Amino acid sequence: MQATEHVHSKSNIRRRSAQEMANITLAKDTRMKQEMTKYISRTEAERQIKELEAELNRLFSREAQSYDEDKNITLSQMLAHVKQNHQPPTDHDFGFDVTYAWSPTPTYMKLPAEAPYPTPALTGCAIAVTKQYFYHLGGFDPAFEIWGGEHFELAFRTWMCGGRLEVVPCSKVGHLYKLLTHDFLGDGKIIRAKNNLRVAEIWMDEYKEFTYASYRSKLKLPTFSEKELKSIEARRELRRKLKCGSFKHYLEMFPELIVPPKDSLYFGAVKNTKTSHCLVVQPNGYVGVGDKECDGWRILPEEQFIIDREGRLMLGELCVGVDGNTTLLRANKNNCDNSKWKWTLNSHKGLDTGLLEITGPAGRYCVEHDQGDTQGKGVVKLASCNTTSIQVWSFAHKFDFGVSR
């Protein structure tokens, strides 16, 4: 559906630089509150908010277009920031534990550099939508607690219910940081997990099993009260009323989204805990690490490995195995039929971090990042397991499917 709405923001509202804000810890104690006020006083924040509200009211006061023409929520990135850092366009993505991440814009989107483009997800701080369409979709889910989950829920709902999300590179947004951190009034991890599991229950259909499996491996799953279950059913009724499609159809709209196989034990980027580089398959088929340090805020296709229940370490359809009589690793389809070698992540605590081990006829070996590689090619090799930090790796996700729901 053609986009009809664009982001409207006041371009001259001052945004604190990342360097300034990075030096401020958003803490609750009085000393840190006083430090924050040196940068932006409460009075100044209130003035800027009123100024922004007045501008938005002016821009959105015109008559709203019909629903059929206006099924669109747009997400903005600061054009000046993108140009300054010379970054290519990026999509707003998510992991199957419903956590936010960035990913490269897929190459099949051949659009002009500054043209709006569709995105599967959004952030919660920089969206624009007409009030009429926002409430037609059902507004924000009122049962979310404190913080977390609402931007994914709104993104899924928009796409699945006939709308559209777009990034508009040629927009500028003023973003005011909060003076205080979120007060969860409880365990923040549990509250965020509960919000995200609520998203999964309402919108993700059979794919919710990945979300449950991810959280089950991290913490004791929170339970929904009878009141919460009724509110979940109320949102499912909204979904039926809006005649929304399936989550499977949503995934099919974005072929770049990588869905892990259902027999996955581990999934995602495999990061060396000492060097912070992630495993990749190089063009010649050998397994190495990327040129740059990797982090949990981006999803790159070349880093999305799995270990499945058969003990295979895979990237897509390629399986990682030992290259002949060497200590190097190579990925190809032929290795997928080799049942003599088994991969595992040996974690004594049962978490997503441990020794990346391969066991076979020649014994047990561990993968380590070869820091003696002076050519910058990012070599990894097999070595005797010795529990040194150079041999410790972490997967982005560990799945514990437990008892099927």
* Domain extent listing, the chain: 18-252, 264-398
Give the pLDDT of residue 170.
74
CB of 326 closer than 8 Å to CB of 383: no
Give the pLDDT of residue 306.
92
Low-confidence stretches of the chain (pLDDT < 50) are 1-39, 62-69, 74-88, 374, 376, 404-405
Q: Name the CA radius of gyration of the chain, rounded.
A: 23
Give the chain's end-to-end CA distance (angstroms, integer): 36
Closest C-alpha to 162, from 255, 252, 73 = 73
What is the value of pTM for the model shown? 0.71
Contacts of 302 (CB under 8 A, 6+ apart): 280, 281, 290, 315
Closest C-alpha to 28, from 160, 180, 134 = 180
Q: Residue length, the chain? A: 405
How many Cβ atoms sit within 10 Å of the Cβ of residue 214? 27
CB of 156 closer than 8 Å to CB of 237: no
CATH superfamily of 18-252: Spore Coat Polysaccharide Biosynthesis Protein SpsA; Chain A (3.90.550.10)
Structure tokens at 12: 């001259």
Give the pLDDT of residue 85.
38
Structure tokens at 8: 């409207």
Give the pLDDT of residue 162.
93
CA dist., res. 214 & res. 209, Å (int): 9
Angle between helices 226-241 and 188-203 (to 10 degrees): 40
Which class is 264-398 in CATH?
mainly beta
CA dist., res. 99 & res. 222, Å (int): 17
Give the pLDDT of residue 161.
95
CA dist., res. 186 & res. 147, Å (int): 12
Give the pLDDT of residue 403.
59
CA dist., res. 217 & res. 397, Å (int): 9
CA dist., res. 340 & res. 383, Å (int): 18
Structure tokens at 81: 């920031």
Q: Tell me the per-residue pLDDT of 289-302, one tens digit each, with 9 for 90 and over.
A: 988 888 767 778 88
